[in-house]
Copies of this chain bind each other. A is one copy, B any other.
Amino acid sequence: MALIVQKYGGSSVSDAVSVQRVARRIVETQRAGNDVVVIVSAMGDTTDELLDLAAQITATPPQRELDILLTAGERISMSLLAMAIHELGVRAKSFTGQQAGVITDAVYGRAKIVDVVPSRIAETLERGEVAIIAGFQGVHADTNDVTTLGRGGSDTTAVAIAAGLNADVCEIYTDVDGVFTADPRIVPAARKIDHLTYEEMLELAASGAKVMALRAVEYARRYAVPVHVRSSFIAALGTWISGSSDDPTILNPTEREAPVEAPIISGVAHDDSEAKITVVGVPDIPGMAARIFEVVADAGANLDMIVQNVSAAQTGLTDISFTLPEADGAVALHALTQVQGEIDYTFLQYDDQIGKLSLVGAGMKTSPGVSARFFGALRDAGINIEMISTSEIRISVVTRADSLQDAVRAIHTAFGLDADAEATVYAGTGR
């Protein structure tokens, strides 16, 4: 008997038929002898429809009211899912984030979970009932106001509830079979990864792998929640994410095969949603870089990679480049324009035609020759490199956007990740 937390995204509950399909899966899990807690997102396009309604009223909705509006979405999906489970003869109750004890800060629209008090959920399980919890939402304890968690919110709810209940596993159901060595749409020979450490999954998620939200991985790592990313369409095992590459605690007593030995290289992630800003002609004096990144951060933009070229001695000027999400480009440019007089740079360059490729693997730092093989493969494929960034377990490069896919395939092959059989890809986004 295990306590299993399952999370289903909006594409898994897009209509009544798919709600019933998910209900059958939940009931099977419970009838196999497990306690089951389910986190569910809003149905299919509900969130977009609600946003469209708001847009008809105002272009600048107060964020508090927008949060109240959007949380109507999970209210609908969670109650329908509870009804569908009930229809299969199993008792189920649905709970809002507030009722489930998901306590957040007061930052509407992108609230952070500060505490989880799932006493009602524990009581529900004790009565032998399935507990359904609205993902993506919480409550600010001081005001009793509803908040939403922003991007990746439902994954984070699932991990937080799993941590709060000390669950045996947090299953993230998605529309792919697990985490792959590369995006199967780009690399047909990509292989499903059986197991990743939190750190590897963090680097993959931060580098553009979309299968699980970065913040949810961070949460899982902090509270050591075993995560299992798997398909909602098939019963096969997906990818386990846990503390170490052969951590026995990740074993699911009913399903898990023998632990696999960790490969040096986990996989290749890519991201074509970033842009690059270059601040040209920055005076090469102390504090200038700090000031630039301060300005960008205050504007709410998330910096990713940063490169500063050596300054040309005769001019005393340098260029500072950084990447950030394309969506943050406009505010960052605007903020930097405001401080041109203060920083005294020459001009700004903006480039959204870039791609980022990252190779992630736990053994990388201690395995000589990884860098040599990495850059050699890119050279052989004729890929030009614009920026480089590394961590303990990752090498990232920025290339032209139109050569990104070739680069991903070249690296995937060079590191022996290609499988014999092609991976199965399902439609949809899985969020």
Q: Which chain A residues (27-79) contact chain B, with CB distance < 8 Å?
A: 50, 53-54, 56-58, 60-62, 64-66, 68-69, 71-73, 75-76, 78-79
A83 to B108, CA, bound (A): 15
Chain B residues near A66 (CB-CB < 8 A): 79, 83
Chain B residues near A186 (CB-CB < 8 A): none
Known: A68-B94, A94-B68. A54 touches B83 (CB 8 A): yes
Chain B residues near A16 (CB-CB < 8 A): 53, 56-57
Asked whether any CB of chain B lies closer than 8 Å to the CB of A82, the reply is yes
A76 to B46, CA, bound (A): 12
Of B65, B71, B73, B80, which is within 8 A of A82 by CB?
B65
A50 to B53, CA, bound (A): 17
Count of this chain's copies in the oligomeric assembly? 2
Whether A57 and B120, one on each chain, are in contact in the complex, defined by CB atoms closer than 8 angstroms, is no
Q: Mark A186-229, 1 if CB is under 8 A from B, else 0.
A: 00000000000000000000000000000000000000000000
A60 to B88, CA, bound (A): 11
A82 to chain B, nearest CB (A): 5
Summarize A's interface: helix, strand, loop or mixed. helix
Asked whether any CB of chain B lies closer than 8 Å to the CB of A86, the reply is yes
Q: Which residue in chain B gives the minimum CB-CB distance to A69?
A: B79
Whether A75 and B71, one on each chain, are in contact in the complex, defined by CB atoms closer than 8 angstroms, is yes
Q: Which residue in chain B gives the minimum CB-CB distance to A144?
A: B99
Asked whether any CB of chain B lies closer than 8 Å to the CB of A20, the reply is yes
Whether A76 and B83, one on each chain, are in contact in the complex, defined by CB atoms closer than 8 angstroms, is no
Chain B residues near A120 (CB-CB < 8 A): 144
Known: A62-B86, A99-B144, A144-B99. A76 touches B80 (CB 8 A): no
Whether B57 and A84, one on each chain, are in contact in the complex, defined by CB atoms closer than 8 angstroms, is yes
A62 to B91, CA, bound (A): 9
Whether A58 and B75, one on each chain, are in contact in the complex, defined by CB atoms closer than 8 angstroms, is no
Chain B residues near A54 (CB-CB < 8 A): 79-80, 83
Asked whether any CB of chain B lies closer than 8 Å to the CB of A422, the reply is no
Whether A68 and B57, one on each chain, are in contact in the complex, defined by CB atoms closer than 8 angstroms, is no
Asked whether any CB of chain B lies closer than 8 Å to the CB of A298, the reply is no
A146 to B66, CA, bound (A): 21
Asked whether any CB of chain B lies closer than 8 Å to the CB of A87, the reply is yes
Chain B residues near A146 (CB-CB < 8 A): 96
A78 to B94, CA, bound (A): 22
A252 to chain B, nearest CB (A): 30
Known: A53-B16, A72-B72. A79 touches B65 (CB 8 A): yes
Whether A65 and B50, one on each chain, are in contact in the complex, defined by CB atoms closer than 8 angstroms, is no
A-side residues, CB < 8 A to B, are: 16, 19-20, 50, 53-54, 56-58, 60-62, 64-66, 68-69, 71-73, 75-76, 78-80, 82-84, 86-87, 92-94, 96, 98-99, 120, 144-146
| Shortest Cβ-Cβ A-B pairs, 4 listed | A16-B56, A69-B79, A58-B87, A68-B79
14 new A-B contacts, CB < 8 A, other than A20-B57, A68-B82, are A50-B76, A53-B76, A57-B87, A58-B83, A58-B84, A62-B82, A65-B83, A65-B94, A66-B83, A68-B78, A68-B94, A71-B75, A72-B72, A72-B75
